[in-house]
Amino acid sequence: MKLDVCLEMVFTDLPPEERIPKIAAAGYDAVEFWMPDGKNLDAVRDAARRCKVTINNMVVNGPGGPLLGVAAEQQQYVARVEETIAIGKRIGCRQAITCTCNDLPGVSHAQTHAAVVRALAVAAEVAARHDFVLLLEPLNTRADHKGYFLDSVDEGAEIVREVKSPGLKLLFDIYHVQIMQGDLIRRIEQHLDVIGHFHSAGVPGRHELFDGEIHYPAIVKRLEALGYAGFFGLEYAPALADHAESLRRVKAYLLGG
């Protein structure tokens, strides 16, 4: 299983580019991060190259915008996707996570769903032309993202299938899915054809994967048996004070090393 680490969550007292060598020293050769805004992207790219670390993905937009469910903002969203793709080419990253929007006052769920599909169809076409992939992320609305539109991984998979483009895949965040729906392995099997990436964290609390109600080694073992070839992202906030030790222990827990 190929693992990557969300560098936003670890070694948070350091600038992003200085976190990459720490992650590499803990035994990982891939990272991801949230939005590129405010980062020294050349420094991030150069640190990744020095450490022989892959930058697997970043984030296009959060639930606050640009809003895929609002027609007036969809052009702004596509422009943001184009900007993200350009950044990706600059730093050697070919995937980016996209959110939808929060529930919109006076707009039905079905109307928002249709608007999201329309926006993603355009954005996915742009991404596909550049050999780039957008990763659509459902989030939980019980603990972390109250009011977010897309809180069902099943609906997320439905949207990806409706768009039907190589430029759009599903991000299956195990932490969020467990909180909202559970039945993890069956859902993974059901939607593996459209899944492009996984996120993980302990439930409850979003801490180390070995400290919670999910038995992650069983999930990793099943993914390997199914032939999943993408990355398995660690997006957790360490409860251990020593983040390097936390990362080493999580890797051993997942891979049995």
In the prediction, which pLDDT does 70 show? 67
Nearest to 175 by CA among 159, 151, 158, 194: 151
Residue 91, SS3 per DSSP: helix
End-to-end CA distance of the chain: 12
Instruction: Please indicate, yes or no, whether the overall pTM of this predicted structure exceeds 0.85.
Output: yes
State the Cα–Cα distance between residues 247 and 26, nearest whole angstrom.
6
How many other CB atoms are found less than 10 A from the CB of residue 22?
A: 18
Kindly provide the b/e burial profile for residues 55-68, where b requires at least 16 CB atoms within 10 angstroms of the residue's own CB.
Answer: bbbbbbbbbeebbb
In the prediction, which pLDDT does 33 show? 98
In the prediction, which pLDDT does 67 show? 65
In the prediction, which pLDDT does 104 show? 86
Q: How far is CA 13 from CA 19, 79, 86, 243, in A?
A: 9, 32, 28, 11
Q: Which fold has domain 2-255?
A: TIM Barrel (3.20.20)
| Residue that has been written with the tokens 């948070």 in this structure | 12
Domain boundaries, the chain: 2-255
Say which DSSP state 106 is in: T
Per-residue pLDDT of the chain (257 residues; tens, 9 = 90+): 999 999 999 999 999 999 999 999 999 999 999 999 999 999 999 999 999 999 999 999 988 766 666 667 788 899 999 999 999 999 999 999 999 989 988 989 999 999 999 999 999 999 999 999 999 999 999 999 999 999 999 999 999 999 999 999 999 999 999 999 999 999 999 999 999 999 999 999 999 999 999 999 999 999 999 999 999 999 999 999 999 999 999 999 999 85
